[in-house]
Structures are given as C-alpha cells and as structure tokens.
Amino acid sequence: MPLIRAATDLTTEPKIIIQGRTGATDDLFLVRTSSGFVAMRIAYDGTLHYAESPPPAALTYSERIAALNPWYFSEGTLTSSRFLVDLQLANPIAYTYICRFVASSSAGGGFFGFDDNHGFSPPGPSDRSLYFDSGKIKLYNYNGGPYYLTTPNTYQDAILHTLTARMGGGLPTAIFIDGVKVIETSNTGAYNYSGYYKIGYAYEAGNASGLDIIKPAIFLSALTDTQIIEIHNAQN
C-alpha cells in the first residue's frame, strides 16, 4: 500500500507538501518553491526523476491596477480627448492618478483634474490637477492656498511612460515617472467640496492635445511607493 504524507505548514520554501512511497520501491515528492512546483521521483536504484511546473504568469499592468480596487479604471486610450467621470464625489481628499502616456513634441493640456463643474464649460473651481507646463508635468493642489510640484525633466518625447500623481494617506505628495519618484513635498490635503474628476482635462491647462493617455486609473487612496513601482514594472 502506498505511504502518503502531506505537510500542514506551507509557509516556508522550498517545502515538501506531499511525500509518498509506492511499496518498497520509488519515493515520490511534490515540492513547492518560490517559482512553482516540482514533482520528484527517486527510483529504487537511486536515480532522480523530476518535472517542474511552469512559474506563475506575472500580473499585467491592468491586473495590478484591478487588484488594488481603483475607483475608476479604463482599459482604453484617450487620444487628444477628454472624459468626464460622471459620478459626483463628496469631499474626496486622498487620491492616486496613474496612467501610461505618449506625448508628441507639441503635447499640452491636462492629464486629469477635479472641480465642481458637471462638464467642461464654464469651468468650475479646481483643487487638484495634473498637466503639461512647457514640456514638464505639473501637479497642482489647493489646500487653503495653491501648491505645485513640477518634474525636473520634460516628456514631450514620443516615448511610452508611466505617470503617477499621489496625495494624502500620510504619504508625501509626489509625482512618479516610470516608477521613480521625481519630486515630492510634505504639503498635503485638498479643498473640501463635492465635484467631478475629468480625464484628459485640467482647469489650469485645458484639454489634452498631442497626447495619448493610456489605461488611466484613479484611486481614492494614496498608493505606496512599492505599489506604484509594481504597477510600472508590470507587463503591458
């Protein structure tokens, strides 16, 4: 009769999770490793036979975002266009905006904004937005007064980038480019009112132009540096 033994503690790796013996001949093992599973058979003559399972597939960019429960996420691309997220929010504070983008040499306008107008014209008061300013990317927030963050470099280079803007949650307000924090401030907070998020538009800079905004997402929380890096590093 085969002898089977199963592990109850699977928290360490590598871990033998099933060990068996077929009579007095072969020893059988199923081992979990960090990259998958290995099935091994040690024959009666001492030779080792084994087969590895393929490692689990890495999460894609979209899967990474979906796993973190975004308030808004689009799988599409906005090409020099704008979009109203038609759901009013009451006094939102913390946020993370993330997208991939490609900007032409003449790109301008907004990546996203939040204001109290249900539409685009006339514009309403704004307390947060992200937009191009002379080729650099500027983040504006208002908390009793305006404060700004501007990237050191320009990004009108026709290259695919990952862009993240974060505020609140006890973390520094920051801009990340390609998973790297390029500028931050300890100033945080936003004005207290109800309004609407817009993609491809900012009160301070108008409509996006010469700009592809790819798979934009908005979180009503501040993602950590590690989460932002993992999203950038994910496959397309």
- In the chain, DSSP finds a helix count (H) and a strand count (E) of 2, 21
Q: In this structure, are 41 and 67 located in the same domain?
A: no
Which CATH number do you get for residue 194? 2.60.120.200
Q: Do 70 and 48 belong together in one domain?
A: no
- % of the chain exceeding 90 in pLDDT: 56
Same domain flag for 43 and 73:
no
The pLDDT value recorded for residue 92 is 83
Closest CA to 228 of 189, 185, 171: 171
**Has residue 235 got a pLDDT over 90?**
no
From CA 82, how far away is CA 84, in angstroms rounded? 7
Question: Is residue 149 located within the same domain as residue 191?
Answer: yes
Q: What is the Cα–Cα distance from 211 to 183, expressed in whole angstroms?
A: 22
Tokens 């937005």: give the residue. 129
- Do 76 and 46 have their domain in common? no
**Distance, CA of 164 to CA of 176 (rounded, Å):** 5
Whether residues 65 and 42 fall in one domain: no
Averaged pLDDT, 138-162: 94
The model's confidence at residue 126, banded by pLDDT at 50, 70 and 90, is confident
| Same domain flag for 21 and 77 | no
Which residues span the domain enclosing 115? 61-233
Report the percentage of the chain scoring pLDDT > 70.
Answer: 74
Cα 182–chain centre separation = 16
Identify which of 211, 169, 216, 172 has the alpha carbon closest to the alpha carbon of residue 197.
216
Higher pLDDT, 198 or 3: 198
pLDDT in tens, 10-61: 344 444 444 455 555 566 666 666 556 666 666 656 565 555 555 556 789 9
Beta-bridge mates of residue 90: 194
Give the pLDDT band (50/70/90) at residue 230: very high
- 31/103: higher pLDDT: 103
What pLDDT does residue 122 have? 64
Same-domain check for residues 147 and 207: yes
Q: What is the pLDDT of residue 233?
A: 94
**Total tally of structural domains belonging to the chain:** 2
Rounded Cα distance between 177 and 159, Å, is 12
Same domain, 24 and 76: no
**pLDDT, averaged across the chain:** 83
How far is it, in rounded angstroms, from Cα 114 to Cα 136?
Answer: 20
